């Protein structure tokens, strides 16, 4: 990965010296986001939905002769994913997924922590939430550095490259939908989340009534701020300097950090459609 970045940087420097054809521009558009999940040892499948987002930022482009160019951008983007389990499968899916995660984290949690998670949080899922449905949404706000190589065929351009991505903020929400009863949000589980935080940290037991939000738990224990991805795409010049761009981004590294990513890996993907304008 370092060699790719160095090669792109070197290409920019050589081209700047030889031709000095550096252009600047901006690009913005809509993102159709999702994530690919892999749970080790779990037979349950996740039903993932689409999370809508956006991207916007500047771009610098350098020509390498008549046919090729390289570019570097700096953009702010909204990515993420949704999870939804139907009433018939919610409890069994959730149970299998969480139980398999716990089995892979016995050493990190310790005997007491593992027993607490299993007996107090995981096992009741089968009976307490049977017949209900669960919906969760994770939104990731990132600053990304896309580095691309582009081949030009008249007004058509084909591009590909890598993305260095840093998550500056996130929002995780979860709702349990009960049949014939009001929905339950993650607020109802904040005491259990605080206890889970205690067992993971191995620190002082929280006082009675201590609560912790689900998003804070994610940020504290699961969030991997720096990730790497790749992209492929195409753009077509509509007017002088203005192009329609379609790019598919796919994650190469998980946005769930160690040791949890040894059990569940999650990679962010996004289909971005927008416009670019080079000055």
What does the pLDDT read at residue 131?
Answer: 57
Across 216-229, average pLDDT: 93
Return the SS3 of 159: strand
Token pair of 196, please? Answer: 């889970």
CA distances to 50, 210, 223 from 101, rounded to whole Å, are 24, 25, 16
Across 138-147, average pLDDT: 96
CA distances to 8, 109, 189, 203 from 119, rounded to whole Å, are 52, 14, 15, 20
Of 147, 143, 117, 130, residue with least CA distance to 217: 117
CA 274/CA 28 separation, integer angstroms: 6
To 10 degrees, what angle do helices 106-116 and 190-201 make? 140
What does the pLDDT read at residue 18?
Answer: 47
Name the pTM for this structure.
0.76
Whole-number percent of the chain with pLDDT over 70: 77
Maximum mean pLDDT: which of 6-15, 134-143, 194-203, 269-278: 269-278
Task: Give me the phi and psi of 9, to 5 degrees please.
Answer: -65, -40
What does the pLDDT read at residue 75?
Answer: 95
Give residues with Cβ within 8 angstroms of 7, minimum separation 6: none
Give residues with Cβ within 8 angstroms of 193, minimum separation 6: 186, 211, 212, 213, 214, 217
What does the pLDDT read at residue 181?
Answer: 76
Across 19-24, average pLDDT: 76
Q: What do you get for the CA distance between the two ends of the chain, in Å?
A: 30
What does the pLDDT read at residue 234?
Answer: 97
What does the pLDDT read at residue 107?
Answer: 72
Q: Identify whether the C-beta of residue 189 lies closer than 8 Å to the C-beta of residue 176.
A: no
CA 75/CA 164 separation, integer angstroms: 11
What does the pLDDT read at residue 17?
Answer: 44
Across 247-270, average pLDDT: 87
Q: Identify whether the C-beta of residue 120 lies closer than 8 Å to the C-beta of residue 205.
A: no
Token pair of 59, please? Answer: 């771009």
Q: What is the mean pLDDT of the chain?
A: 81
Q: Identify whether the C-beta of residue 154 lies closer than 8 Å to the C-beta of residue 242.
A: no
Checking if the pLDDT of 149 tops 90, the result is yes
Q: Fold for domain 2-278?
A: Porin (2.40.160)
Across 192-210, average pLDDT: 81
pLDDT top residue among 183 and 97: 183
Maximum mean pLDDT: which of 72-76, 112-116, 170-174: 72-76
- The continuous run of DSSP H or E covering 161 comes out as strand 156-177
CA 216/CA 219 separation, integer angstroms: 5
Cis amide bond preceding 78, omega within 30: no
Checking if the pLDDT of 55 tops 70, the result is yes
Half-sphere exposure of 44 (CA within 13 A, CB side): 22
Checking if the pLDDT of 42 tops 60, the result is no
Checking if the pLDDT of 44 tops 70, the result is no
Q: Identify whether the C-beta of residue 30 lies closer than 8 Å to the C-beta of residue 54.
A: yes
Listed by start position, the domains of the chain span 2-278
CA distances to 63, 71, 276 from 16, rounded to whole Å, are 9, 12, 22
Strands 48-49, 51-64: parallel, antiparallel or unpaired by DSSP? unpaired
């Amino acid at each position: 990965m370092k060699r790719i970045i160095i090669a792109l940087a070197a290409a920019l420097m050589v081209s700047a010296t030889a031709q000095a054809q550096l252009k600047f521009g901006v690009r913005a558009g809509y993102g159709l986001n999702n994530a690919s999940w892999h749970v080790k040892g779990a037979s349950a499948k996740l039903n993932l939905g689409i999370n809508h987002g956006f991207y916007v930022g500047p771009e610098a482009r350098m020509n390498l002769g008549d046919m090729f160019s390289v570019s570097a951008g700096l953009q702010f983007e909204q990515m993420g994913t949704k999870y939804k389990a139907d009433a018939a499968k919610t409890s069994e899916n959730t149970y299998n997924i969480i139980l398999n995660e716990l089995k892979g984290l016995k050493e990190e949690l310790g005997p007491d922590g593992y027993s607490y998670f299993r007996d107090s949080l995981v096992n009741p899922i089968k009976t307490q939430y049977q017949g209900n449905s669960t919906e969760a949404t994770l939104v990731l706000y990132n600053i990304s550095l896309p580095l691309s190589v582009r081949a030009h065929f008249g007004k058509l351009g084909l591009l590909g490259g890598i993305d260095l991505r840093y998550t500056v903020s996130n929002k995780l929400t979860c709702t349990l939908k009960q049949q014939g009863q009001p929905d339950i949000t993650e607020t109802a589980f904040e005491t259990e989340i605080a206890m889970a935080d205690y067992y993971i940290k191995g620190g002082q037991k929280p006082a009675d009534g201590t609560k912790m939000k689900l998003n804070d738990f994610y940020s504290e224990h699961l969030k991997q701020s720096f990730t790497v991805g790749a992209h492929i795409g195409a753009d077509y010049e509509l007017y002088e300097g203005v192009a329609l761009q379609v790019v598919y981004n796919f994650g190469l590294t998980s946005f769930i950090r160690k040791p949890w990513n040894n059990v569940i890996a999650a990679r962010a993907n996004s289909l971005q459609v927008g416009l670019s304008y080079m000055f």
